[in-house]
């Protein structure tokens, strides 16, 4: 059997660990052959592939990024139609020419949404969930999240000391377009004085009260804000640039907050945007282990003839769920979880 592997969407620490586990398990346990598709769905769409064997995956376990490259190419969009063939037809034909019998798609909501449609059309596809945002449904955790949280926590630890030296408010903007998991976990772990997440539109006056209160205790405030957080009665971003899945490129809420806090409190405030630092670099041990386990279970699912399923973490067990279950509903931060963090505000 010949299995294709691809990584789509925003990259994330742990992708290489999945690729390694898939290839090693597939070759050692089943005698499969592998083909790596380049840059997410662009690879199968344009028949752009590379051979993948044990040698090709040596030494990649601790490496961030993905040896296969990634992109946000959407094969289901009109742009993917060429020579009168839809993206789906192009992929089906290219896989047949390359002799690929099954695909393992490693990605987030968009990549897996396409995987699910392909599985529905008869191709054998197994999904592996990834996103630093941890907002995919049907799995307790995605790999990459723990690494991102640790990077953000370390940044907050560092910002505490400089904020205190200068008696400033420091605003840390972290990733999270729809869900505030990174902000919540890094904020709790780093002892933030305010955490703002997309699920809970904020009241700027309340934020300023927390900031003032923190200054009164003679310590400097740290505000952690997810990029998708927004004030009450306001939408996210107008006229933002959209990617091929229609998502707005976010960013800017941290700076907006710093200016508003400075104006309203009279205290100096600065913003730090962590951006892609959260996505790059070596994965934590937790993410390496989770990614490896996901890879092993994904190729076992392929060997068992399954399709349209995704590996997922439930408690400490790796299980399989329909891909649809994961992409149909985003996993948002529940109110009770936010309330636990709120105890420490101010």
User: Which residues of the shown chain bind ligand F6P in the complex (CB under 6 A)?
Assistant: 10, 108, 131-133, 175-177, 227, 249-250, 279
The token duo for 315 is 């408690």
Closer to ligand F6P at the Cβ: 226 or 261? 226
Catalytic residues: 133
Q: How far is the CB of 190 from ligand F6P (least distance, A)?
A: 18
User: Cα-flanking dihedrals φ and ψ of residue 77, to 5°?
Assistant: -80, 160
Q: How far is the CB of 218 from ligand F6P (least distance, A)?
A: 35
CB-CB contact of 41 with 53 (8 Å): no
CA distances from 317 to 275, 307, 312 (A): 31, 20, 8
CB-CB contact of 293 with 129 (8 Å): no
Using the structure block, give the residue that is written with the tokens 């630093």.
132
Closer to ligand F6P at the Cβ: 26 or 127? 127
Q: How far is the CB of 152 from ligand F6P (least distance, A)?
A: 12
Using the structure block, give the residue that is written with the tokens 């992708």.
15
Strands 2-7 and 124-129: unpaired
Closer to ligand F6P at the Cβ: 280 or 322? 280
A 10 A CB-CB count for 137 gives 17
Closer to ligand F6P at the Cβ: 8 or 26? 8
4: left (phi over 0), alpha (psi -120 to 50) or beta: beta
CA distances from 297 to 22, 23, 135 (A): 8, 12, 21
Q: How far is the CB of 254 from ligand F6P (least distance, A)?
A: 13
- The 3-class secondary structure across 106-173, one letter per residue, is EECHHHHHHHHHHHHCCCEEEEEEECCCCCCCCCCCCECHHHHHHHHHHHHHHHHHHHHHHCCEEEEE
Q: How far is the CB of 275 from ligand F6P (least distance, A)?
A: 8
């Amino acid at each position: 059997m010949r299995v294709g592997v691809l990584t789509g969407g925003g990259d994330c620490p742990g992708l290489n660990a999945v690729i390694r586990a898939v290839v090693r398990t597939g070759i050692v346990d089943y005698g499969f052959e592998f083909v790596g598709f380049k840059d997410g769905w662009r690879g199968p769409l344009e028949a752009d592939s590379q051979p993948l064997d044990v040698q090709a995956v040596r030494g990649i376990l601790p490496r961030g990024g993905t040896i296969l490259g990634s992109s946000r190419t959407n094969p289901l969009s009109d742009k993917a139609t060429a020579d009168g063939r839809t993206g789906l037809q192009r992929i089906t034909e290219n896989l047949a020419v390359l002799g690929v019998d099954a695909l393992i798609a490693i990605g987030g909501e968009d990549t897996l949404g396409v995987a699910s449609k392909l599985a529905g059309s008869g191709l054998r596809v197994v999904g592996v969930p990834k996103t630093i945002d941890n907002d995919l449904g049907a799995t307790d955790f995605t790999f990459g999240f723990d690494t991102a949280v640790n990077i953000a926590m370390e940044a907050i630890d560092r910002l505490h000391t400089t904020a205190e030296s200068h008696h400033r408010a420091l605003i840390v903007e972290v990733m999270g377009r729809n869900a505030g998991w990174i902000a919540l976990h890094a904020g709790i772990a780093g002892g933030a004085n305010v955490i703002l997440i997309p699920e809970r539109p904020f009241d700027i006056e309340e934020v300023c009260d927390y900031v003032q209160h923190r200054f009164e205790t003679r310590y400097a405030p740290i505000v952690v804000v997810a990029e998708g957080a927004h004030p009450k009665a306001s939408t996210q971003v107008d006229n933002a640039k959209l990617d091929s899945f229609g998502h707005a490129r976010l960013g800017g809420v941290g700076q907006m907050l710093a200016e508003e806090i400075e104006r309203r409190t009279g205290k100096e405030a600065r913003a730090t945007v962590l951006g892609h630092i959260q996505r790059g670099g070596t994965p934590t041990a937790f993410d390496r282990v989770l990614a490896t386990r996901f890879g092993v279970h994904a190729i076992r699912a392929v060997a068992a003839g399954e399709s349209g399923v995704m590996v997922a973490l439930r408690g400490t067990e790796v299980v399989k769920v329909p891909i649809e279950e994961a992409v149909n509903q985003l996993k948002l931060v529940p109110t009770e979880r936010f309330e636990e963090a709120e105890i420490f505000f101010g």
